[in-house]
């Protein structure tokens, strides 16, 4: 049943471009006519749509809800803070409390500033790196948010001035030479290297160490964008997991379990520049989100959440891989990434159609995902077993559709759209 979702879709189309505030949550990433399009509420791992269907969710608010939706130990702290006020005329002592906690768990963190989204802190990092080095250019690798300096490097660069585009260069993951070449081509011009320390691909041959060496040799700063990896690979992010410490690092998503908060952390001598570098906004220091992050960190430390995420993520990931192998679908269905965050990808020209069919059949059986599978502390063995039962059936359907050339015929809604391409 998807009637309410579809009715609301028609209404929203007239009011909100793409019917969503976030590209990855929009109908472009879900099959119109075959997938739920709007949520009513969520608790634990269960997401309820407008029609009252419930799903075991694996996207978990784009990776933000690391402990689970509406997680009581966090919610109670947020509620307590709401009653005391949210934003004020003066900074609140909770800011220093969270800053101190972050300096304890993140290797590179000596000083801290907060933002609301990942994009806020990646952009602040780039600005302070430019101020520190007196250089204008940036080298990046990965996704870093919606602002001009980054999005201008992608296929979604409409509206970004050419002059701005010229200032950001890109290099390839696991290819240190591609970074070295940028420094040779633009000597003494690159302020910083900003990168996702790890995404879906594993770093090979000490890639992260090499990037740090190259960056420092050329007098630039190394910034790790840990918006995804923070609070997931390890509490202190991929820098802690891989033992490579950057100069600055950006955290977001999971740090508030869904509350809007992000953090830029790093070396004191660089961070001190924020006394003059302008990074200032009305909801900076908003205390309900800060309280949520303190609660998240305390809970994660006390309950060994990271070890749990690796164990349960491994169970789902291995389970899917085994099913794919049993059904001899390895050429088409690719399971890539780490247990704590992995993608199920569909190869070939018809990849998006296959993904749509897969999502459609999963949704019918009560399993929801879009981009990556982001395991949470609320995913229990019973959810994982149910999920694997669903994947078993859905992969059979996919195999059948491929064998009998029936993919198009089985699609009940529109094919999902590609996520924009990086260079
Ligand atoms: N960096 C990375 C690695 C991300 O995945 C994202 C968001 N997906 C961002 C930065 C931007 O964060 P936000 O969407 O919260 O602005």
Residues in a beta bridge with 44: 69
Round to whole Å and give the CA distance between 364 and 2: 10
Instruction: Answer whether 63 contacts ligand 1 (Cβ < 6 A).
Output: no
In short, whether 227's Cβ falls inside 6 Å of ligand 1 is yes
Residue range 75-96: average pLDDT? 98
Q: Name the CATH architecture for the domain at 87-285.
A: 3-Layer(aba) Sandwich (3.40)
* CATH code for the domain defined by 3-69+305-410: 3.90.1150.10
Q: What is the pLDDT of residues 302-346, one digit of tens each?
A: 999 999 999 999 999 999 999 999 999 999 999 999 999 999 999
Q: What does the pLDDT read at residue 43?
A: 98
- Could you give the residue ranges of the DSSP H alpha helices within 153-283? 162-165, 176-185, 207-217, 238-242, 268-271
pLDDT for position 174: 98
How far away, in angstroms, is 146 Cα from ligand 1 center?
8
Domain boundaries in the chain? 3-69+305-410, 87-285
Strands of 21-77, DSSP E: 39-43, 46-49, 54-57
Q: Please report which confidence band the pLDDT of residue 421 belongs to, taking 50, 70 and 90 as the band edges.
A: low
The answer to whether 197 touches 226, Cβ cutoff 8 Å, is yes
Please state at what angle helix 176-185 crosses helix 207-217, rounded to 10 degrees. 10
- Give tens-digit pLDDT for 29-59: 999 999 999 999 999 999 999 999 999 999 9
Residue 261 has pLDDT above 60, yes or no: yes
| Percent of the chain whose predicted confidence (pLDDT) is above 70 | 99
Q: What is the mean pLDDT of residues 188-212?
A: 97
Q: Please name the residue whose Cα sits nearest to atom 10 of ligand 1.
A: 144
For ligand 1, atom 1, which residue shows the shortest CA distance? Answer: 144
Question: Taking the CA of residue 344 as centre, how many other CA atoms within 13 Å lie in the half-sphere pointing to its CB?
Answer: 28
225 is catalytic: yes
Q: Is 124 in the pocket of ligand 1 (CB under 6 A)?
A: no
Diameter of the chain by CA atoms? 67
Mind giving me the DSSP string for 129-160? Answer: HHHHHT--EEEEES---SSHHHHTTSS--TT-
Sign of the dihedral through C-alpha 304, 120, 146, 192 = negative
Task: Quote the pLDDT of residue 419.
Answer: 80
Identify whether 253 is a catalytic site residue.
Answer: yes
H/E run at residue 335 = strand 333-338
HSE-up of residue 301 (Cα within 13 Å, Cβ side): 13
Measured in angstroms, how far is the CA atom of residue 83 from the centroid of ligand 1? Answer: 30
* Active site annotation includes 14: no
The model's pTM is: 0.97
């Amino acid at each position: 049943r998807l009637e309410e979702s579809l009715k609301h879709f028609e209404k929203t189309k007239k009011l909100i471009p793409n019917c969503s505030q976030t590209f990855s949550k929009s109908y472009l990433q879900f099959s119109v006519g075959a997938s739920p399009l709007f949520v009513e509420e969520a608790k634990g791992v269960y997401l309820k749509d407008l029609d009252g269907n419930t799903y075991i969710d694996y996207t978990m608010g784009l990776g933000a809800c690391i402990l689970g939706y509406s997680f009581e130990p966090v919610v109670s702290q947020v509620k307590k803070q709401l009653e005391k006020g949210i934003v004020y005329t003066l900074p609140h002592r909770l800011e220093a409390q969270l800053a101190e906690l972050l300096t304890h768990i993140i290797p590179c963190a000596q000083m801290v500033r907060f933002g609301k989204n990942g994009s806020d802190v990646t952009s602040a990092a780039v600005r302070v790196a430019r101020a520190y080095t007196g250089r204008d250019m940036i080298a990046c690798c990965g996704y870093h948010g919606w602002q001009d300096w980054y999005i201008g490097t992608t296929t979604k660069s409409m509206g970004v001035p050419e002059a701005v585009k010229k200032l950001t260069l890109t290099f390839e993951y696991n290819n240190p030479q591609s970074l070295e070449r940028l420094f040779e081509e633009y000597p003494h011009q690159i302020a910083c290297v900003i990168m996702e320390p790890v995404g879906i691909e594993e770093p090979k041959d000490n890639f992260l160490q090499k990037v740090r060496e190259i960056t420092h040799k050329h007098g630039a700063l190394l910034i790790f964008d840990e918006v995804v990896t923070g609070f997931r690979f390890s509490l202190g992010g991929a820098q802690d997991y891989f033992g490579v410490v950057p100069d600055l690092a950006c955290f977001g998503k999971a740090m508030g379990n869904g509350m809007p908060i992000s953090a830029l952390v790093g070396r004191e001598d660089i961070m001190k520049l924020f006394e003059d570098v302008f990074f200032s906004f009305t909801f900076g220091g908003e205390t309900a989100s800060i309280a949520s992050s303190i609660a998240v960190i305390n809970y994660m430390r006390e309950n060994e959440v990271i070890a749990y995420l690796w164990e349960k993520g491994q169970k789902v990931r291995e389970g899917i891989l085994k099913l794919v192998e049993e059904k001899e679908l390895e050429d088409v269905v690719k399971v890539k990434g780490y247990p704590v965050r992995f993608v199920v990808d569909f190869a070939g020209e018809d990849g998006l159609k296959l993904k749509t069919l897969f999502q459609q059949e999963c949704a019918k059986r009560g399993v929801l995902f879009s981009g990556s599978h982001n395991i949470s502390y609320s995913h229990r063995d019973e959810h994982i077993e149910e999920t694997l039962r669903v994947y078993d059936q859905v992969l059979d359907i996919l195999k059948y559709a491929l064998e009998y050339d029936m993919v198009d015929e089985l699609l009940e809604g529109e094919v999902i759209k590609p996520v924009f391409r990086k260079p």
